[in-house]
Amino acid sequence: MRSRPKHPLAYLTLLAVAFFSAFPVYWSVIVASHDNAAMAEMPPPLLPGGNFLANVSRVFDTAPFALALVNSFVVAGTITVSVTFFSTLAGFAFAKLRFRGRGALLLLTVVTMMVPTQLGIIPLYMLMIKLEWTGKLYAVIVPALVNAFGVFFMTQYLGRALPTELLEAGRIDGCGTWRLFRHIVVPAARPAAAVLGMLTFMTAWNDYFWPLVVLTPDDPTVQVALSQLASGYVRDFTLGLTGTAVATLPLVLVFVLLGKQIIGGIMQGAVKG
């Protein structure tokens, strides 16, 4: 066992980087809890003030923020349930079922992660006009219902964590594939599905560009509302950063509480099989 004093430089470097990582988030809380006049002072305040709730009510008056929060919950919630379900299903097939073309299809799944799909945004938008989905939440939800990362992630996990003998025992008991999935795979997948769910929720909650393009300013998601709040001619940083705090802090809180599992999930997904 190495003892702590052996790496003073490592600690110093990590502490410095940790400080720079955390400070901007802390700073948003500072700005959000003061008024604009206080932020114009030199030196600026470095501790939270007492103006947070007043700022929050201003945020809800300025932008359709309440609606945006509801929309984002609907969008991110639906996407999370769907991605988790379909990824577990596909992961089960890739990890444990035998079928022709399995290896090639799995490789194709990984390769699709590297396709810059954002470049197809114009025809995608034209497609949404055709479907009459522009301005509607479907336009944001449907294209995100399942993704390659989730499929790959669950394939990795189930390949490692689900004993094949269990499935064989189920087969002997006469289970069809769907019953195997429901009664053996789903319980076994639960820890990884929880991590995938959290990662998916965060990504969907934070998604900005596509909702900006396809939704309307009066019926936005939270990130689009936030960008409305923070741009324009009025230079009201307090308003923008209060919106930022309202939109970000719930996620940050969940992350800090469940960070260990989430980080484990990211690192597991990173190791390629």
Strand, helix or coil for residue 71? helix
The tokens describing 175, both together, are 């289970």
Nearest CB to other proteins, comparing residues 125 and 219: 125
Write down the least CB distance from residue 81 to other proteins, Å.
Answer: 13
CA distance 183 to 42: 63
The sign of the torsion formed by the CA atoms of 143, 148, 150, 151 equals positive
Write down the least CB distance from residue 115 to other proteins, Å.
Answer: 6
Write down the least CB distance from residue 138 to other proteins, Å.
Answer: 12
Q: Are 80 and 197 in contact (CB under 8 A)?
A: yes
- What b/e string do you get for 187-217 counting C-beta neighbours within 10 Å, with b at 16 or more? ebbeebbebbbbbbbbbbbebeebbebbbee
Q: Are 39 and 31 in contact (CB under 8 A)?
A: yes
Nearest CB to other proteins, comparing residues 74 and 125: 125
The tokens describing 47, both together, are 């501790």
Nearest CA to 252 out of 71, 2, 25 is that of 25
Nearest CB to other proteins, comparing residues 66 and 108: 108
Write down the least CB distance from residue 132 to other proteins, Å.
Answer: 15
Nearest CB to other proteins, comparing residues 120 and 191: 120
Nearest CA to 128 out of 140, 118, 145 is that of 140
> What is the Cα Rg of the chain in Å?
23
Q: Which residue has the tokens 């509302």?
A: 225
Nearest CB to other proteins, comparing residues 74 and 138: 138
Write down the least CB distance from residue 184 to other proteins, Å.
Answer: 6
Write down the least CB distance from residue 233 to other proteins, Å.
Answer: 6
Q: Provide DSSP, 20-33.
A: HHHHHHHHHHHHHT
Nearest CB to other proteins, comparing residues 70 and 263: 263
